[in-house]
Every structure is written in structure tokens, then in C-alpha cells.
Structure 1
């Protein structure tokens, strides 16, 4: 099993800063297997988006079921046991590939949406697309961004504002007030960045010849009210 930070340390850092980095969650051999699995999958359908700037697969575990057994290693389960000691479920999975020399950037924002399977008129949700906005759920959600390439400021590493997740939903017109001195979260291949969805984050255009391939996973122990269900719910075994 790959070495993981002490559970209390990891959980405490996420509470205080809203993010943490695990430099080696997967071995080089495990990363190679993950990439081979993704690259061998048919790249067609409504969940696949491809352009010169990005290749993305939404609901990637639904599109590539063979990926989950490769992701659900003892090391990942150890991390999840630290974050969700009473158990939980995966709620979203996306694959991103920011190619070399991509001009795609992501402006400062918080992740304010959760994926649900249908629209339901319930207090605290809306505006509606196929997603719902519910801050209480987001506050108890954890994102794990698994990096399949070395990632730094030159190829789109995330910039974050530590502690900004504690401010609730930040009005868009005030976001610039908090982003003058961000932290760049460099992560080696096989490492992971953990973050809270309400953490302010952004990424620059790539200026290097290296790609940035990431598997974005979201986990929660929250149960949604009657009438709603997680669109990509998948139970996870912790410990």
C-alpha cells in the first residue's frame, strides 16, 4: 500500500485549508494501467467532448466500467476512510485531458453544482438544469483529483485560495478580492489533490509541451431528500 498521511492530519488539513496533496496515491504501474484503460475505450457518445483544447469524458465510470476496479485500490480506500469514516459513495467522475499547448483556462470559481438524476421542486434547490445547487451537500463533499501526468504551473496545475471554502458561496463580483496571492498545487504523476468544492480555484493556460490528464472524483456520505438521487452514485468500501 502506498504511504498515506495520517487520517487525522489529512482531515484536519482539509478542514483548515480546503485542500491537501498526496504525492503518491498510485504507483507508476497503476497509472500506466489507468491510462491504457482510458485510451482503449471507444471515444464516442454524448459524454465525450473532444476539441484541440480539451478531451473530456463525463460519467467516465459509466462509460468505462473497467476503470473503477483500477481506481479502487487499498490506497484510495484508506484515503476515503479518513474522509468518510462512516462510509459513503462516489457521486461524480470526470476525465479531463488538457493537451500540450492548450489555450484552455479556467477562471476563478467554486464548484457549486451536484449531479442528480432528475428535476424535483424541493426547497433549497435551483436554478435547475440537470444539476441542483445545495450548499449543505457541497460542504460535506470531497473531491479527489488523480493526476496521470506531472503537473505544475506550466501545464495547468490548479491555483487555490486556502481557507476560502469556509466563506460559503462567494458572490462572483467579490471573488477578485480573495485571489491576489493564490497557492499553486503542483502534483506529480500518480499523486492526488484533495479539495473541498467550495474552495476558490482556477487554472492557467498550458505553456509547456506536457499534457495534463486528470481523473476527477467526488465523494460524499450525504443522502439526498426524497425525490432526488445522485446521478452517478456508486457505493464505496472504505478501510
Structure 2
């Protein structure tokens, strides 16, 4: 990453809702991240492992040794450009889409955040859900607008092994009712990202992914960051100060 690349990246992110950064972590750092994930005890309610799915939710809570490996000068430089006044991490997930864990993700927006408690009478928030020890809510629009997702790719990723498809600019239209999402996907594009690269996206960007048709894995660390506080004293369950 060069100093001149990041402002252009931030501009593309604002305009289209996504951007790709080909080299955020070098090969040796990717190998260290994979070794750390492989050493994690894959058991507990935040681990989903079946023929179709392997994922780890509350990733940094379950695998705390990952954060020192992720928290590099390159990541901090990127976050400093995206959030000049500072930010905090709000969510971490690990996805492993491979021949043994292969699933289709339909078109959707990322509308829900995980919080510490339910405040069902909070204006501008809802619906609320509670399951498996988590409380989730669709927050006010300004919270989603402030959030940036960084998807760190640990493998080369293209259309054959489940790369994300996105609809450029769809984040600018607010929440799209599920029944009309299909009508907005004609301009979809596939996001090809090499190992060590990152895809940046806004939560309201329409996105989906196909099943993999390749034997190659598609392992991704999904991190969400924000620079705003939640209303009424709510707290993100996975909040971690970064800058």
C-alpha cells in the first residue's frame, strides 16, 4: 500500500460502497494468521462446523492471539485514513468456504449489530433478536453509515471459489426491502482479491456469494469498524479500541 493509494481507495469506498486493496498483509503474516486459526480449539457456541458451514463468531474473543497478528502498521495506516478521528472494532468473524464447508449466500445487506443488552423502546432501532446468548439489533441508519467492513483474504479468491458479488452504489439507497432486492442486482460485479489482500465494503452494500466450484479454499477474516457511539449507552459486544 502506498500513501497515495489510500485516499483513492477511500473515495471509491464512499462512491461505490466497496474497494479492494491487493496487498495489506505479506505472505509471512498470512501464514502466521492461518497457523493461529488452525491452532484454535474449534468448539463452543461461536463455532459453526458442518458439511456446509465453518465459521467462528466473536472471533477475537474466541481466538485472542489473532489480534496482535492483525494489528499491523499497515492496518493502522488504513484505518487512520478511513477514520481520522479514531475508531473501534465492533465485530470479527472467520469464514472458511471450502470443498467440505461450502454454502450459498443470497443477496442481502448487513443490517444487524451485536450489543450488550436489549433496549426495545430505543427510537430508530429494531427489530431486536436474542439467541445463543447474543442480542442483535438493526441500529439507526447513521450507525450503519459509519461502519466499514474489512474482509482480509487468506487465499486467492475469484468467482470459482466463492468471491463476493456486489452491486456498486447500492449502499446509497438505504435499507432495501427483501422483496425487491432481486430487482437491484443486474449491475452486480465479482470482487477478485488475492491472498493477503483486503476487500472494504459498507454494510448497506448489496452482496452475495455463490457456492465454490473449486477445490481451493476461501478463508476470510471479516472485521467491522466504526467511529460512532451507540445511543442510550448501548455497547457493541465485541468492542475493541483501535485508534
Which TM-score applies when normalising by structure 2? 0.94
| Alpha-carbon contact 1:4-1:22 (below 8 Å) kept | no
Matched, 1:177 2:183: yes
Q: 1:5 and 1:179, CA in 2 relative to 1: closer, same or farther beyond 3 A?
A: farther
Which 5+ residue runs of structure 1 have no aligned equivalent?
Answer: none
- Secondary structure in 2 aligned to 1:123? coil
- Secondary structure in 2 aligned to 1:37? helix
Alpha-carbon distance between aligned partners in 2 of 1:53 and 1:3, rounded to the nearest angstrom: 39
- Secondary structure in 1 aligned to 2:128? coil
Alpha-carbon distance between aligned partners in 2 of 1:225 and 1:172, rounded to the nearest angstrom: 26
Detail structure 1 runs of 4+ shifted over 6 Å in the superposition. none
Alpha-carbon distance between aligned partners in 2 of 1:152 and 1:5, rounded to the nearest angstrom: 26
| Alpha-carbon contact 1:110-1:197 (below 8 Å) kept | yes
Question: What is the total number of aligned residue pairs between the two structures?
Answer: 236
Most deviating of 81-90 and 225-234: 225-234
Alpha-carbon distance between aligned partners in 1 of 2:4 and 2:34, rounded to the nearest angstrom: 25
| Alpha-carbon contact 2:168-2:187 (below 8 Å) kept | no
Matched, 1:16 2:15: yes
Which 5+ residue runs of structure 2 have no aligned equivalent?
Answer: 130-134
**Cα deviation, residue 181, structure 1:** 2.8
Query: How do residues 89-128 of structure 1 correspond to structure 2 at under 5 angstroms?
Result: 89-100=88-99, 102-120=101-119, 121-128=121-128
| Alpha-carbon contact 1:4-1:75 (below 8 Å) kept | no
Query: How do residues 180-219 of structure 1 correspond to structure 2 at under 5 angstroms?
Result: 180-219=186-225
| Alpha-carbon contact 1:23-1:187 (below 8 Å) kept | yes
Alpha-carbon distance between aligned partners in 2 of 1:53 and 1:34, rounded to the nearest angstrom: 23
| Alpha-carbon contact 2:167-2:205 (below 8 Å) kept | yes
**Cα deviation, residue 100, structure 1:** 2.1
Which TM-score applies when normalising by structure 1? 0.95
Partner in structure 2 of residue 50 of structure 1: 49
- Secondary structure in 2 aligned to 1:41? coil
**Cα deviation, residue 4, structure 1:** 5.9
| Alpha-carbon contact 2:33-2:69 (below 8 Å) kept | yes
- Secondary structure in 1 aligned to 2:232? coil
Q: 1:179 and 1:59, CA in 2 relative to 1: closer, same or farther beyond 3 A?
A: same
Alpha-carbon distance between aligned partners in 2 of 1:128 and 1:225, rounded to the nearest angstrom: 15
